[in-house]
Every structure is written in structure tokens, then in C-alpha cells.
């Protein structure tokens, strides 16, 4: 395998950035929550809060692992990267479509459009022939990426 080109490094850094942003957000969220003990050695946590923490931790782990494994030129890193980028492309697209429907075109909307452009560019970079050859992807790699994406999508959209 050859060295990583700038497109592959771009995707890896994007995933690391997403993972770090989620980690920072999660830590700030945890540190700001004050819980009253439910009993000796116990805390109270709702199912929605638990699912939110599981989603956050899963996103952090997959994003950071995908970014690091892209740098290691691992096929598994490519699978993780593709699934996370697909997930965030789907999320941002949904948010933007809701904003258009509500006719709220404002500065955060412009940031969302820029984020969508970056995510879509990452999808293209991951699917270039040179990248697929370098990471030795097969149809089975795509299958695993889609399965992981579907699991993540279910976690984000159905299990709330």
C-alpha cells in the first residue's frame, strides 16, 4: 500500500475532528448534569438519557477509531469511516430539509450547507477508485459499511 494522499488524510482528520467534538460535547454534558442519588451507591438515569449516552459513546469510538485506522490504512478504518460519514450526511440533510420546509434560511443553515458539502466531499473521497484499491475494499466491505450505517441510523432515529 502506498502513502495516504491528501484526500484520505482529509477524511481521517474530519473523523478525528467529529470524534473530538462529540467527546468534548459529551464531557461538558456529563459534567453539567447533577443527579440526586436514588439510593446508596445508585444514581437515577432515564432510558432516554441512557440511550443518548450510548449514542454519544458509540459515535465517539467509531469516529476516532475510523480516523486512526484510516491513518493505518486499514480496510476496517475505511468501513467505519464510510458508515459514520454516511450517518452524518443523513443527519445534516434531514436538518437542512426541515429548515427549508420551515423556511428558516439563516446563518446556521449556511453552516449546515457547508457541513453537508464537506461530508459529501468525504463520501466522494472514500469512494474514489484509488482509495478503494489502497484500502483493499470489496463488495463485502460495502456490505459491512451499510450494515454498520443502518445500526447507527436505528440508534439515532428509532431508539430515543
pLDDT tens digits for range 137-159 = 999 999 999 999 999 999 988 87
Where on the phi/psi map is residue 117: left (φ > 0), alpha (ψ -120 to 50), or beta? alpha
39, part of any domain: no
46 pLDDT band (50/70/90 cuts)?
Answer: confident
108, part of any domain: yes
37, part of any domain: no
Per DSSP, which regions of 16-118 are E strands?
Answer: 37-39, 42-43
pLDDT, residue 30, reads 79
Structural domain span for residue 128: 6-32+44-157
38 pLDDT band (50/70/90 cuts)?
Answer: low
pLDDT tens digits for range 70-99 = 999 999 999 999 999 999 999 999 989 988
- Cα separation values, 1 from 67, 68, 75, 84, 138, Å: 17, 16, 11, 24, 16
59, part of any domain: yes
132, part of any domain: yes
74, part of any domain: yes
pLDDT tens digits for range 105-133 = 888 888 999 999 999 999 999 999 999 99
130, part of any domain: yes
Give the count of domains, the chain.
1
Neighbours of 45 (CB within 10 A): 12
pTM of the model: 0.88
Per-residue pLDDT averaged across 44-50, rounded?
76
Amino acid at each position: 500500500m502506498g502513502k495516504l494522499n491528501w484526500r484520505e488524510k482529509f477524511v481521517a482528520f474530519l473523523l478525528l475532528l467529529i470524534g473530538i467534538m462529540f467527546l468534548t460535547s459529551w464531557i461538558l454534558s456529563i459534567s453539567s448534569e447533577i443527579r440526586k442519588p436514588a439510593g446508596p451507591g445508585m444514581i437515577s438515569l432515564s432510558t432516554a438519557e441512557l440511550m443518548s449516552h450510548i449514542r454519544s459513546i458509540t459515535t465517539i469510538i467509531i469516529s476516532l477509531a475510523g480516523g486512526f485506522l484510516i491513518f493505518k490504512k486499514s480496510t476496517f478504518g475505511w468501513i467505519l469511516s464510510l458508515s459514520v460519514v454516511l450517518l452524518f450526511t443523513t443527519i445534516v440533510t434531514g436538518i437542512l430539509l426541515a429548515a427549508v420546509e420551515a423556511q428558516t434560511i439563516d446563518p446556521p443553515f449556511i453552516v449546515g450547507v457547508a457541513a453537508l458539502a464537506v461530508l459529501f466531499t468525504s463520501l466522494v473521497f472514500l469512494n474514489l477508485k484509488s482509495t478503494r484499491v489502497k484500502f483493499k475494499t470489496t463488495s463485502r466491505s460495502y456490505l459491512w459499511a451499510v450494515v454498520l450505517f443502518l445500526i447507527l441510523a436505528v440508534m439515532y432515529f428509532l431508539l430515543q
